[in-house]
Chains A and B, each alone.
Chain A
């Protein structure tokens, strides 16, 4: 995790290292005690505390979007009365952490509780100042700092003092800036960062002696952490170049030699050391660092510079053959590197820049202390210089947040669709309920059907010999049995030759029983199928009735007020916000893309220039050779 607070100018970055670890701990206090001393809910004491606990559950996971939503929901329902202004402070802190410093500023300004909590008030304004500075808004940073009292904890107070000095320096007021920093303890790490920045400001103005003096003050400070040691390397390198510019190459060599051999400044120091030696006429000494440098990664601008410097040294040493070969190799390498960077430019001109930059692994939404976003794709290989810049980081974070918001809106749209469906269903249920008599008759019909099924199942289960005649008959056979029954019970049967009629009747019955027995297995099978189908239908109908009953319970509870109006309003908002986010996303993406491509194009121009210089040197060497041959 990066502990560097970002600032608009990389040369004005703040210190980190051991002191920042302490600062970080303070931040954890700031965060973990629910921002500005708001106590976390240990065991929920009430329903209100449960809601507050839900907010904290999201908050402690860094999920500011859902934490803020839950807090705003609870606030809207007046469920946070128990927590008073603490909840508002938490909201301010979370807003700040989610990159909404303007909203945080509004909340902190309005929170009356802050007036009684000086320490919390100071922290709030300090972090706001830092965020504003990170955004490059030095005026807002200055205003926020002016609201910080002397009650700020020591580690934060030192950083606040440094920030005030950095702002003064940014406005060109070196005297005031130096006075502010002089109030810091001598061994404060912020002293080192300030003096480095002061040196950089003077170097940029061409005030070499003042720059050198400031850089040398960094060396006087203790470098107790890796970051401070890296800063010291940077100061030595910068001092070396300042000495070179001031025409003191020997002193420059001394500074370059102080840079550690394994560090981010090594390449620049090696290159500078070579130039310092060359400036003193000692190109033999210059060869060694340049040779080492030329074998380093082509991503390094210094290494690329050495491709040209190396043959130049050979030329100066009177070795035209080696120089010519070196220039030819340099020209080839510049051409290859240019092609590579041009391919990277093309890769960045795709639709999904986020993927092209290799940023897919970044899921944090933290602004105040989130790690730097580090592009990790081939297309971003030559953007190292940019990645460390504050403005680029801010632009990446804004781009990241907009992408996330677009996803939230998409989800909101889907949730809204569900609500529209639910609302329509509930409306139908209400209407259905109004026809409850119809529902009751369906229930009655279903019950009757269930009884009939039970009778059928009983019939199927009855052994054949116990069945009455025609019990399982199909419709045709059933009609015969009905006719037979009618005749058998007719009084006319007993008139005339009654015995012959009875005999015939008995014969018919026997025949029909024979028919029944013949089709019995088939009928049992058919009726079993029918029973099963009925069973399924009854189950389905039962489930549907239960579902309707369930929905009725839900729908009959009081319908939300103005639900249709609210749904329509939400639909409109989702649509409007979607368009707005899309436009902002295009702007943010184009901004990042443009900066990245501009940086790569700058490198291409440098490479073209260097390649041109190589070609000129080759031509110059050929010309000289031709002149000597002619003589």
Chain B
């Protein structure tokens, strides 16, 4: 029995420095460069996608924002344009958290002809006192040759102790 051998192996295990040698940075640099280039590629693809599929002259984008959310816990939003449901979105807890911290969700992007259109959003979730809550908001938008952006806003009204739902046009 070589006691010192055992001891040495234990000491190595006990104080061991990394089994991996200090990796050369080339792979790390390569991966970071790939990340940057793939991000740029995705950016260019995103821009071209929007220009081709949703050009400004017909584009309608609908966003959703949430302020505080004390009186309303959002579950889902159903969005209809001219009576046709174009989006029915169910939010995860993580997404709700992101909304409450100031994030804005791009709910829908599509194309509209010039002219007037009715946009209806129906919000479902839990309202004050944890009760099931379902409310709608409607707006008639006049689409011209510029891109149209709508913001569905859920705001707490402290005066009414109720959530308020509004649609803002940009």
Q: Which residues of A contact B (CB under 8 A)?
A: 8-11, 32, 34, 40-44, 46-47, 49-50, 52-54, 56-61, 65, 68-70, 72-73, 76-77, 98-103, 135-137, 200, 203-204, 237-238, 241, 244-245, 268, 271-272, 275, 278-279, 301-302, 305, 308-309, 312, 385-386, 389-392, 394-395, 398, 401-402, 405, 408-409, 412, 415-416, 419, 422-423, 426, 550, 553-554, 557-558, 560, 563, 566-567, 569-570, 573-574, 577, 580-581, 584, 587-588, 591, 595, 598-599, 606, 613, 617
If A44-B104, A103-B35, A581-B34 are given as contacts, then 18 extra A-B residue pairs at C-beta distance below 8 Å, sorted by A number, are: A8-B22, A53-B102, A73-B43, A76-B43, A98-B35, A204-B17, A241-B7, A244-B7, A391-B20, A392-B19, A419-B49, A554-B58, A554-B111, A557-B57, A560-B52, A560-B55, A570-B45, A599-B19
Within 8 Å of chain A (Cβ to Cβ): is B11?
Answer: yes
A to B CB contacts below 8 Å, 12 in the list? A49-B104, A73-B47, A76-B47, A100-B35, A135-B28, A275-B6, A305-B10, A389-B20, A391-B18, A412-B38, A412-B41, A553-B113
Residue B51 interfacial (CB < 8 Å): yes
Contact indicator A419/B95 (Cβ below 8 Å) = no
Cα–Cα, bound, A395→B9 (Å): 25
Q: In the complex, which residues of chain A have a beta carbon less than 8 angstroms from the beta carbon of B47?
A: 73, 76-77
Judge whether B19 and A43 touch: CB under 8 Å.
no
Q: Which residues of B contact A56 (CB under 8 A)?
A: 98, 101-104
Docked complex: B86-122 residues within 8 A CB-CB of A: 94-95, 97-99, 101-106, 111, 113
Contact residues in B for A65 (Cβ distance below 8 Å): 39, 42
Are the CB atoms of B39 and A557 closer together than 8 Å? no
* Separation of A43 and B101 alpha carbons in the complex (Å): 10
Measured between C-beta atoms, what is the minimum distance from B68 to chain A in Å? 9
Whether the Cβ atoms of A60 and B98 lie closer than 8 Å is yes
Q: Chain A contacts of B10 at CB under 8 A?
A: 241, 268, 271-272, 302, 305
CA–CA, A553 and B32, complex, Å: 42
Query: What residues of chain A lie closer than 8 Å to B170, measured between beta carbons?
Result: 46-47, 50
Of B31, B103, B105, the contact of A59 (CB 8 Å cutoff): B103
Q: Known: A69-B39, A401-B31. Contact between A415 and B67, CB under 8 A?
A: no
Partner among B1, B11, B23, B63 whose Cβ is within 8 Å of the Cβ of A50: B63
Inside 8 A of B6's CB, which chain A residues have their CB?
275, 305, 309
Check A595/B20 contact, CB under 8 A, given A57-B99, A61-B94, A73-B47. yes
Q: Is the CB of A54 within 8 A of B22?
A: no
Contact B55 A557 (CB under 8 A): yes
Residue B160 interfacial (CB < 8 Å): no
- A60 to B103, Cβ gap below 8 A? yes
**Contacting pair B51 A390 (CB below 8 A):** no
How close is B111's CB to chain A, nearest CB, in angstroms?
A: 6
Question: How far apart are the CA atoms of A9 and B106 in the complex, in Å?
Answer: 44
Partner of A60, one of B14, B15, B101, B111: B101
In the complex, A44→B95 CA distance in Å? 17
User: When the two chains form their complex, are residues A395 and B29 in contact, meaning their CB atoms are under 8 A apart?
Assistant: no
B11 touches A203 (CB 8 A): yes
Bound complex: CA A60 to CA B102 (Å): 9
* Interface 0/1 of B128-139, CB less than 8 Å to A: 000000000000
Q: How far is the CA of A598 from the CA of B101 in the complex (A)?
A: 46
**Which 3 A-B pairs give the minimum distances between C-beta atoms?**
A53-B104, A57-B103, A40-B102
With contacts A241-B10, A617-B1 known, is A577 near B37, CB below 8 A?
A: yes
Closest to A52 in B: B104
- Given the contacts A40-B101, A57-B103, A60-B101, A245 and B11 also touching, CB distance less than 8 Å: yes
The distance in angstroms between the C-alpha atoms of A100 and B37, with both chains bound, is: 12
The answer to whether B57 and A423 touch across the interface, beta carbons within 8 angstroms, is no
A395 to B18, CA, bound (A): 13
Complex: chain B residue closest to A135, CB-CB: B28
Q: Are A398 and B36 in contact (CB under 8 A)?
A: no
- Contacts A408-B42, A415-B45, A560-B48 given: A391-B23 contact, CB under 8 Å? yes
Given A46-B170, A241-B11, CB of A10 within 8 Å of CB of B153: no
With the chains together, A271 CA to B7 CA distance in Å?
Answer: 10
Given the interface contacts A415-B49, A419-B48, A419-B49, does A389 sit within 8 Å of B19 by beta carbon? Answer: yes
Q: Could you say which residues of chain B place their CB within 8 Å of the CB of A554?
A: 55, 58, 111
> Chain B's nearest CB lies how many Å from the CB of A65?
7
Q: Which B residues lie within 8 Å of A76 (CB)?
A: 43, 47
User: Which chain A residue lies CB-closest to B61?
Assistant: A50
Residues of B within 8 A of A279 (CB): 3
Distance of A301 from chain B, by nearest CB (Å): 6
Q: Is B151 an interface residue (CB 8 A)?
A: yes
- Chain B residues in 8 Å Cβ range of A301: 13
A272 to B15, CA, bound (A): 14
Measured CA separation A70–B50 after assembly (Å): 12
* A residues less than 8 Å from B58 (CB atoms): 553-554, 557
- Contact status B15-A584, CB under 8 Å: no
Instruction: Collect the chain A residues with CB atoms within 8 Å of residue B35's CB.
Output: 98-100, 103, 401, 405
Interchain CB contact under 8 A, B151 and A412: no
Bound complex: CA A538 to CA B44 (Å): 42
CB contact under 8 A between A422 and B53, given known A50-B151, A57-B104, A61-B98: yes
